[in-house]
Amino acid sequence: MTTNLPLTIQAIENDGYHLLTTILINGKNALIIIDTGASRSVFDETRIIDFIGHNNLSEHDKLSSGLGTNTMTSKKVVLDTLNLNGLVLNHYEATILNLHHVNQSYQKIGLNPIDGILGGDVLNDYHAIIDYKNSILTLSF
């Protein structure tokens, strides 16, 4: 089976493009960036509270790298459901990072804040195909 997620190809101030889509986290709409260079999916530590209803995040035992920094402390939480337009991941162990710098940059150019980044763990596991011409992300399961 496959599912298609509509993509918004967002120009970023003459400096390239970000791919955005909406998914459901615990039944609520979440705006995420598709990032083929991210080793795994991550979610913003402030915004995730809106989806899980608490801030009981477990400390992660390792540092994360990337996103414009060498290392940053990460946390984790189990999401009841991560729904990618019909591809439902139950009890998804999510990595939580401070994505404030991303959202601050988005705010400066008039874009809505993001809730997370869909990275290589999901993109690889579900054989992601990005169709730029038709603005679609296809996942197979």
- Classify each residue of 39-72 as buried b or exposed e, where b means 16 or more C-beta atoms within 10 Å of its C-beta: ebbbbbbebbeebbeeeebeebeeebebeeeeee
**How confident is the model at residue 57, as a pLDDT?**
84
What are the two backbone dihedrals, phi and then psi, of residue 136, each rounded to the nearest 5 degrees? Answer: -135, 140
pLDDT in the model for residue 71: 58
Residue 124, domain extent: 2-140
Mean pLDDT by 10 residues, the chain (141 residues): 98 92 98 97 96 82 52 87 98 96 96 98 98 99 95
Tokens of residue 14, six digits: 């003459």
Contact 75, 63 (CB under 8 A): no
What does the alpha-carbon distance between residue 61 and residue 3 come to, in Å, rounded to a whole number?
A: 34
Q: Coil, strand, or helix at residue 50?
A: helix
The total domain count for the chain is 1
CATH number at residue 129: 2.40.70.10
The pLDDT value given to residue 61: 61
Q: pTM of the prediction? A: 0.89
What whole-number distance in Å separates Cα of residue 100 and Cα of residue 124?
A: 26
